[in-house]
Amino acid sequence: MSPPTHILRFVAVEDGRVHLGQLVDTTRDVGLDTLQGTPVKAYRIDGSIFDGEVTNDVLTAQHLLSPVSRAECNYIRCLGLNYKDHAQEANMALPEVPILFSKPHTALADPYPAVTPIPKCSQDGTSDYEAELCFVLKKSGRNISEEKALDYVLGYTCSNDVSARTLQMATTQWSYSKGLDGSCPIGPVLVTPAAIPDPQNLSIKAIYNGRVVQDGNTREMIFSIKQQIAYFSQGTTLEAGTIFLTGTPAGIGFFRQPRVILEDGGDMRVEIEGIGTLANKICYMDCCQGAWMQLLYHSTAKVYGWMSTKSTFVTVASTVASIVVCMN
């Protein structure tokens, strides 16, 4: 078969194991399909995300995972203020060089049904979204020219640069406030350059509780993906598996009138042309008066629940009915 173009990572219905797969119907938005309970089919990929080969065996995705795993990614590089309209709404001068902060790989998170967890330290009315085009490197390099930069790209997907604004504003450096656990969901599918030959002409939207709150196009980036790779590889080895978040267009919650906040139970989606929809429910964590419980539902799956009382975590697994509960 031909090389993969739409790569999923998922737990399979058939064997309960984690697999890579090539989406069977590449016209589907697997993020929306997963939300709506429509079965997602994929040809199993043997090998790694970097060198896998597509087989003829078809599996059913029970539970989508981030296309890149934590084990494959050591470092998440994020662009700040990389869209003109966002720099304007932030009342900041256009940057003369790309602005880099980072997230640890503990921030990496899966699409729905995984929630976006908001920890206690950012439950102050300033938890925020940033819809971003994400790309992943397929090979390591250093001092990469702009001309060769796209040869290093494995694929593109959606991401949300979840941000804790009060913590962000308290200091000049952003790597803590934007690096909380689960603050970097990516997915639902990694689309290779064969299917996205021009990453600088894609519609990108954030949709919160059904309302479009960001509506941009990647052509509005100040520094293109080529330029990002060339600039940040100066004197610096960019490793295969590195994830880049390429900046967000205007419309973040903090600057909206009235302000938009990621609230417990909220429905957050990032939609990018040619990729699909990254969906996550927002869940406020660690905020228990005694205990909190979260149950995640999967149509054909076991239910994984986490119960906590005074920091004692108990993992429970049982088969229950179709519910998503986030109790505080």
**Closest to a second copy by CB, 239 or 273:** 239
Q: Provide CB contacts within 8 A for 244, sequence distance 6+.
A: 76, 77, 78, 79, 134, 135, 136, 137, 225, 228, 229
User: Given the complex with a second copy, which of 104 and 276 has the nearer CB atom?
Assistant: 104
DSSP tag of 104: -
How near is the Cβ of 86 to a second copy at its closest, in Å? 14
Q: Which is nearer to a second copy, 235 or 258 (CB)?
A: 235
Rg (CA), the chain: 19
Which residues fall within 8 angstroms of residue 290, CB to CB, at 6 or more apart?
A: 309, 310
C-beta separation of 328 from 305 below 8 A: no
H or E segment at 85? helix 84-89
Residue the block writes with tokens 């004197």 = 235
CB of 188 to a second copy, least distance (A): 24
- Report in angstroms how near the CB of residue 56 gets to a second copy at its nearest: 36
CB of 73 to a second copy, least distance (A): 9
* Minimal distance, residue 309 CB to a second copy, in Å: 14
Which one, 22 or 242, has the nearer CB to a second copy? 242
Q: Using CB under 8 A, list all residues that contact a second copy.
A: 74-75, 77, 80, 95-102, 104-106, 119-122, 142-143, 164, 167, 170-176, 179-181, 232, 234-237, 239, 285-286, 311
Is-contact 184 30, C-beta < 8 A?
Answer: no
Q: Are 98 and 223 in contact (CB under 8 A)?
A: yes
> Distance from CA of residue 177 to its chain's centroid?
17
Q: How far is the CB of 311 from a second copy (least distance, A)?
A: 7
Cβ-based nearer residue to a second copy, 25 or 124: 124
Nearer to a second copy, 236 or 300 (CB): 236
